[in-house]
Structure 1
Amino acid sequence: MLYWLMKYVLLGPVLRLLWPMKVVGLENVPDSGGAILAGNHIAVADSFFMPLYVKRKVTFPAKQEYFTEKGIKGRLKKWFFLGVGQFPIDRSGGSAAQAALDTAIRLVRAGHLLGIYPEGTRSPDGRLYKGKTGVARIALESGGVVVPVAVLGTDKVNPIGSKMWRPRRLEVRFGKPLDFSRYEGLSGDRFVERSITDEIMYALMELSGQEYVDIYAARAKELADAEAGGIRPAVPTQAASGREAGRLPETKAG
């Protein structure tokens, strides 16, 4: 109830009015059944705009800190993030990471739409980074199809570090669903999971036109921080243009 109130009465109409959006390929989102909306991640605002025109509820995992702040501000923040369809995950690693995966798998198996960012964190510079294989594990164990989603323009609306959102026309592109049922029973095979993840990232690269970088976004942030501190990065990046698919890791396995 809270989600639909936020989407159609409180927040949604304001977003539609102030940030007009072009939506392409909405028919690729299944009308029913569990599925995964796998998106690029260039701004915090992505989670607000990506599901705005999707008729079904989209549930996103979000860092636990959004839900645990003390006081009135913390309670309001928790209410807000629950209202926009987000659920808390502990990103501290180990069993916490597995618990987050289990929750996501359970949601898709139960017929929900799960929103997820395979990069694991926001892009530090607008490029598309290597995907983490959790999205593949969720797809394999839930049986849900993966719909790649590219959001364009939110990095200008909500630049990193900005306090206020800026006016800007946006675009959201929903790609054709990716069915990985051919890998049924192979969950846990790291080569299969990497192949699936790379196929998803290839689709996102094609949809968004972003430059692809074959390292994790979190690692890119570490390298940038080290360079800013006067430490020479030890690991080079391997980049490819969004239109130079041959540089992306092979995705056509099986």
Structure 2
Amino acid sequence: MSIQSITRMILTPLSQVAFRPSVEGREHVPPAGPVILAANHLSFLDSFIIPLMTPRPVAFLAKAEYFTGTGFKGRLVRELMTGLEAIPVQRGGHRAAQESLELALGVLERGGAFGIHPEGSRSRDGRLYRGRTGVAWLALASGAPVVPVAVLGTDRIQPVGATLPRPGRVTIRFGAPLRFAPQPGISVGRARRQATDDIMAAIQALSGQQTADDFNDLSLTP
């Protein structure tokens, strides 16, 4: 049995007790084949909760520092990230961002599920920020459907700056898959922007969050 399977077996029942998750629309996640899960981002906890509540393994990108920590906490985070199939990446700059997308594309080309937060970083005020077009780059390059996901309650369980989560209630909503394809006569940049805006609108319809007209500041949240 793989470490990923063992991790899910251990953490899934624990999360059921600690967070009493309510999961809606699980049937929208294809049981096989490439799929992109595009979710809002309110807490560090999001990238743990979504894979545990999704009916198939989901890979997320995670900053490389999560895999290099020391002491008990560092080892714990590293084991959790490995067990949840997180992919370590270096942050910062266009090259790092492109390399991250290419790693994600590899997951999809192998028929896997990949999770992404189009806002790029956690919202510090609860609003839903504009999506960055990496999610559309993936969708158009892979042809994979995009399942919008809303996670609610994780910002109260583990807000920005909190060391450990506390018990609470979480809701996860999966929306109907969206599909995107290149459109004749429309530039690549415009197609990516439109697809990203459509994805964010679907996430907002699930989450009910107030929207922000600008992008989240990636420098504010680690």
User: One fold, TM greater than 0.5?
Assistant: yes
Aligned positions of 1:24-43 closer than 5 A: 24-43=24-43
Greater RCO, CA 8 A, separation 6+: 2
Change (3 A) 1:71 1:20: closer
Look up the match of 1:193.
192
Aligned-pair identity in percent equals 43
Deviation at 1:95, TM superposition (A): 2.2
**In 2, Cα distance between equivalents of 1:186 and 1:87:** 36
Is 1:203 the equivalent of 2:176?
no
1:179-202 CA-partner distances (Å, limit 9, x unpaired): 103x26899811111100000000
CA apart distance, 1:109: 1.5
CA-to-aligned-CA distance 1:153-176 (integer Å, 9 cap, x gap): 111111111123222221110000
Alpha carbons of structure 1 residues 221 and 187: separation in structure 2 relative to 1, 3 Å? farther
Equivalent residue runs for 1:15-164 within 5 Å = 15-69=15-69, 74-164=74-164
Please tell me the residue identity of whatever aligns with 1:144.
A
CA-based RMSD: 2.2
Could you tell me how far apart the structure 2 residues matched to 1:149 and 1:22 are?
13
In structure 2, C-alpha distance between the alignment counterparts of 1:45 and 1:180, rounded to whole Å: 29
Instruction: Tell me how many residue pairs correspond in the alignment.
Output: 220
Shift of 1:65: 1.2
**CA shift for structure 1 position 67:** 1.6
Give SS of 2:92's match: coil
Cα distance between partner residues in 2 of 1:51 and 1:38: 12
Supply the distance in 2 between the matched residues of 1:184 and 1:99 (Cα, whole angstroms): 25
Alignment of 1:220-235 (within 5 A): 221=220
Aligned-partner residue type, residue 163 of structure 1: T
TM-score (structure 2 length as normaliser): 0.92
Where 1:212 maps in the other structure, the secondary structure is: coil
Residue 99 of structure 1 and its aligned partner are, at CA, apart by 1.2
Asked if the contact 1:137/1:187 (under 8 Å) is kept, the reply is: no
What is the CA distance between 1:21 and its match in structure 2? 1.2
Q: CA distance change for structure 1 residues 212 and 4 in 2, over 3 Å: closer, same or farther?
A: same
Structure 1 position 13, deviation (Å)? 1.4
Does the CA-based 8 Å contact 2:150-2:207 persist in structure 1? yes
Q: Distance in 1 between matches of 2:74 and 2:162?
A: 20
Instruction: Look up the SS of the partner of 1:52 in the other structure.
Output: helix
Please list every run of 5 or more consecutive structure 2 residues that lacks an aligned counterpart in the other structure.
Answer: none
- TM-score calculated relative to the size of structure 1: 0.81
Q: How many Å apart are 1:50 and its aligned residue?
A: 1.6
- Counterpart of 2:177 in structure 1 is 177
Q: Which amino acid aligns with 2:4?
A: Y
**Rg comparison, structure with higher value:** 1
